[in-house]
Amino acid sequence: MTDKATLTIGDKSYDLPILKGSTGPDVVDVRKFYGDSDHFTFDPGFTSTASCESKITYIDGDAGILLHRGYPIDQLAEKSSFLEVCHLLLNGELPTAEEATKFEHNITYHTMLHAQFDSFFQGFRRDAHPMAIMTGAVGALSAFYADSLNVDDPKQREISAHRLIAKMPTIAARAFQYSVGRPFVTPRNELSYSENFLRMCFSVPAEDWVPNPVLTRAMDRIFILHADHEQNASTSTVRLAGSSGAHPFACIAAGIACLWGPSHGGANQEALEMLEEIGTVENIPAYVQGVKDKKYKLMGFGHRVYKNFDPRAKVMQKTCYEVLEQLGINDPLLQVAMELEKVALSDPYFIERKLYPNIDFYSGITLRAMGFPTNMFTVLFALARTVGWISQWKEMFEDPARKIGRPRQLYTGATQRDYTPLEKRG
Ligand code: ACO
């Protein structure tokens, strides 16, 4: 067993230490490589590069394993609650009964927004995408909670983390209610996190809102399944933003912006829009042919890390069926989804490329059945992922080896040349 790798360039060899994690691939430590060799390593897309050390989430993409602090995602989704998972991600352990009560109290009593904050929403056009509202509103939180912006104070870091986890549902629900022209609903402290969120989204002053335990559980499960996912694009964005010492409200706003992209969090909206575009089962073969001709991608399929199956997709599929059964919905889009899944899983094009349905494939159908419009899907993802982002931000911040993130590049542009006056150009 060797604890170093040797890289030879020309007639010079460089020893690179190999670092071992508790599980998963070892890493070749190239931190001193540039200083020693005057070479960078090249890895756009970070397919082979570990950007940090972390104890929060472990993924084995080939085996379809996702662990949070060591606990398998299916066990957490089945047995835990979102707030318990928040405590786990943020603090490293499942809470004791006493810790759970305290944590729940802390989150519950931070759910309200400053009254003046509501005027922000009025400034947006009624048809604004709720993700546009989220990116703006979350960044703006820092203007209201200036008493927790000192990132060097652990107590303030904790308060900011609690505020973000607590206020995201209130902001997300307001973004939704605003877009449909309904009045904002104030959070209620006697309700659970997910129940409170659903009430803030769907209750109207004209009638009493009645909770539905199946939908509350489904919402909680969706939040658990999206809570964290290692060093994905938005989390890496949060870490990179935070590496400069930026406060968490700014960093999470950056994470939300990154999540919005269709290759990341935007995929659940796109997956459902794709099903709508396909429309009926008969149209599937022609659509799949278009995918093979590389005219477009099958949204909700494929994953950078899971090349076997997405363990979250399995739980999500079950939740999806439960919700549809509870609501008595016979959604024709579900038929299209199931048939598409069958076709894709049996077609060599998809098998060879290891393209399996990911979580977005099923979460889109579930959220639609629950009454959320497609443009809210990514917002719900952002709400749930906030705890992952803030946990990773906290871990990065508390790492004594923290350095400002500063990737290098392979420069292929013009080499140095002299300025040409305008009259001599062209
Ligand atoms: N549909 C059709 N073909 C695909 C798809 C897809 N969804 N995904 C990848 N491929 C093909 C590529 O065209 C490529 O084919 P080639 O070898 O003939 O060129 C091959 O599979 C490998 O694809 P890459 O792009 O190299 O895979 P990568 O790991 O970089 O991409 C990604 C992962 C971005 C998720 C991609 O699969 C994708 O765009 N999927 C659709 C969007 C989606 O559902 N995103 C959600 C991700 S999960 C999440 O954020 C919660």
Report CA(30)–ligand 1 centroid distance (Å): 29
pLDDT digits (tens, 9 = 90+) for 5-33: 999 999 999 999 999 999 999 999 999 99
Predicted confidence (pLDDT) at residue 1 exceeds the cutoff of 60: no
Report CA(274)–ligand 1 centroid distance (Å): 15
* C-alpha to C-alpha distance for 84 and 68, rounded to whole angstroms: 12
**Residue 384 exposed, middle or buried by CB count within 10 Å (0-12, 13-18, 19+):** buried
195 CB-near residues (< 8 Å, 6+ apart) = 211, 216
| Residue in 284, 303, 307, 340 to alter for ligand 1 test, most ligand atoms within 8 A of Cβ | 303
The residue-averaged pLDDT of 259-275 equals 86
Nearest CA to ligand 1 atom 34: 263
Sheet holding 65-68, edge to edge: 57-60, 65-68, 71-72
pTM, entire model: 0.90
Contact residues of ligand 1, CB 6 A cut-off: 263-265, 267, 291, 297-304, 353, 355, 358-360
CA 410 to the chain's CA centroid:
29
Q: Enter the tokens of residue 316.
A: 């999500």
The residue-averaged pLDDT of 80-86 equals 98
Nearest CA to ligand 1 atom 11: 353
The residue-averaged pLDDT of 325-344 equals 86
Q: Which DSSP state fits 357?
A: B
Nearest CA to ligand 1 atom 49: 264
pLDDT digits (tens, 9 = 90+) for 296-326: 999 989 888 888 788 999 899 899 888 988 8
Report CA(115)–ligand 1 centroid distance (Å): 43
Nearest CA to ligand 1 atom 8: 302
322 vs 87 pLDDT, higher one: 87
Report CA(245)–ligand 1 centroid distance (Å): 33
271 CB-near residues (< 8 Å, 6+ apart) = 299, 300, 360, 361, 364
The residue-averaged pLDDT of 189-210 equals 96
300: left (phi over 0), alpha (psi -120 to 50) or beta: left
Report CA(301)–ligand 1 centroid distance (Å): 7
54 closest CA partner among 65, 68, 44, 43? 68
* C-alpha to C-alpha distance for 300 and 311, rounded to whole angstroms: 14
Q: Which of 162, 226, 303, 310 is catalytic?
A: 303
119-157: buried (b, 16+ CB within 10 Å) or exposed (e) per residue?
ebbeebeeebbbbebbbbbbbebbeebeebbebeeeebb
* C-alpha to C-alpha distance for 127 and 106, rounded to whole angstroms: 34
Q: What is the CA radius of gyration of the chain?
A: 23
360 is catalytic: yes
**Residue 337 exposed, middle or buried by CB count within 10 Å (0-12, 13-18, 19+):** buried
303 is catalytic: yes
130 DSSP β-pair partners: none
